[in-house]
């Protein structure tokens, strides 16, 4: 495997684990705020991010490439309102999309078609993640300012259940 592609794939393991850590921190914020549905939504999001990390880990192992695990950074965001958290989520997903696209571009440059095929699922997944984050902001803008609306939105988010990723490698 090309050195640059290998390096970026290995880094992505860490980025996905950081995403899990970040969303667990979001969940923690909402747990403290008494919004258990929002807390549930982000806790499941954190689970999905751990799955993503493991997919990159497994892909490198399948390709007989060395995996190097680095330290996971501390989530450092301080929030003053619920909406800040939701907006930080969208901003983070856009950042992750850019990372995935960078790996894809590196793989494309060296005609690493197998890595490109592996990344196809993540390209689609990032589109869904950005849509979910945007939808949540829209719902919060529409209903979140009214206590009854917030109560119902919290109930809706409480219903989210974990599903394993559709990508099997
Ligand atoms: Mg992810």
Q: What is the pLDDT of residue 15?
A: 98
Ligand 1 centroid to residue 44 C-alpha, Å = 12
Ligand 1 centroid to residue 103 C-alpha, Å = 14
Ligand 1 centroid to residue 37 C-alpha, Å = 21
Ligand 1 centroid to residue 49 C-alpha, Å = 5
pLDDT in tens, 123-141: 999 999 999 999 999 999 9
Ligand 1 centroid to residue 52 C-alpha, Å = 5
Pick from 46, 80, 45, 60: nearest CA to 8: 60
DSSP 27-44: HHHHHHHT-HHHHHHHHH
**pTM of this structure:** 0.96
Q: What is the pLDDT of residue 169?
A: 86
């Amino acid at each position: 495997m090309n050195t640059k592609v290998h390096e970026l794939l290995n880094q992505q393991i860490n980025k996905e684990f950081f995403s899990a850590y970040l969303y667990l921190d979001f969940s923690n914020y909402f747990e403290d705020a008494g919004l258990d549905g929002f807390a549930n939504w982000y806790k499941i999001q954190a689970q999905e991010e751990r799955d993503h990390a493991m997919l990159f880990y497994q892909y490198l192992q399948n390709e007989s490439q060395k995996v190097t695990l680095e330290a996971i950074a501390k989530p450092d965001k301080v929030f003053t309102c619920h909406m800040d958290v939701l907006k930080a989520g969208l901003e983070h997903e856009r950042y992750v999309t850019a990372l995935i696209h960078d790996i894809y571009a590196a793989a494309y440059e060296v005609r690493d078609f197998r890595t490109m095929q592996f990344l196809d699922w993540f390209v689609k997944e990032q589109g869904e993640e950005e849509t979910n984050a945007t939808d949540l902001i829209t719902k919060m803008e529409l209903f979140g300012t009214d206590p009854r609306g917030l109560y119902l939105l919290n109930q809706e988010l409480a219903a989210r259940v974990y599903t394993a990723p559709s990508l099997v490698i």
